[in-house]
Amino acid sequence: MIFLTLFLGLIANFIGYVPPGNINLTLVQITVNRGIKEALRFIISFSSAEFFFTYFIMHAAKWLSQQVKLDTVIDWVMVVLFGVLGTVTWMHRKKPPETNYSEHESIKYGIVLGFVNPMQVPFWMITGTYLITHQWILDGKLALVIFSLGAAAGAFLALFLYAKFAVYIKSKFALSTRVINTGIALLFFSLAAYHVVKQVYLVFFKK
């Protein structure tokens, strides 16, 4: 049962970080601009914070799923977040990568984003409630600790693959930092637009 709980946490969170979002796109940006070493610092610190984030969210999954307006609030938070990230990335797209920066900067960034991660809230609301309700995992403290360890490992694995993919794409196609940052900025704007369209549809068209 312990192994299954760990494995479910790993697989669930790995899947959660496969679609493009603020975390993996930020990681790609760090990898391209600062290199794989800084990317690994970010991944390790983020995954460590993800353990605590998952543990808290899984504890509150049932309660969160009952909050009627929470999805709407999260959508608009994501609009602001993606808009800001897209704007900052777009404004710095022509700026050459820094050669000197604090080795602790990526660690701090990873910890902050690990705890401020609104995209994962609805994911764990659905996934966590489903797993607990169908008794795939227990909702005791030890079980959730083990599950959260698996989730941290899943986040690490998914983000590590993203970082390696970013290195491969940059080297294989000889893409400039400007091109990659422009692409990431457009993805951020697209994700912000998606959440706006979603809320407009829910408010004005869905009955």
Kindly report, residue by residue over 60-93, the tens digit of the pLDDT: 776 666 665 777 777 788 888 888 888 887 887 7
Nearest to 114 by CA among 186, 22, 18, 12: 22
Residue 90, pLDDT score: 81
Nearest to 17 by CA among 191, 160, 155, 185: 155
Residue 183, pLDDT score: 84
Residue 159, pLDDT score: 95
> What average pLDDT does this structure show over 129-157?
85
Measured distance CA(161)–CA(163) in Å, rounded: 5
Instruction: Please tell me the pTM assigned to this model.
Output: 0.81
Residue 50: which pLDDT band, with cuts at 50, 70 and 90? very high
pLDDT digits (tens, 9 = 90+) for 1-44: 778 889 999 999 999 898 888 889 889 888 888 888 999 999 99
Quote the distance between the C-alpha of residue 64 and its chain's center.
19
Residue 207: which pLDDT band, with cuts at 50, 70 and 90? low
Q: Over 90: is that where the pLDDT of 127 sits? A: no
**The residue type at 124:** W
Measured distance CA(42)–CA(114) in Å, rounded: 10
Q: Is there a contact between 2 and 69 (Cβ–Cβ < 8 Å)?
A: no
Which residue in the block uniquely carries the two structure tokens 């607990």? 132
**The residue type at 74:** I
Q: For residue 102, give both structure tokens.
A: 């604090």
Residue 194, pLDDT score: 87
Q: How many CB atoms lie within 10 A of CB 176?
A: 12
Q: Over 90: is that where the pLDDT of 149 sits? A: yes
Helix (H) or strand (E) holding 100: none
Q: What angle do CA 42, 21, 49 make, to 5 degrees?
A: 35
Q: How many CB atoms lie within 10 A of CB 84?
A: 13
pLDDT digits (tens, 9 = 90+) for 94-122: 766 655 556 678 888 889 888 888 878 87
Q: Over 90: is that where the pLDDT of 52 sits? A: yes
End-to-end CA distance of the chain: 43
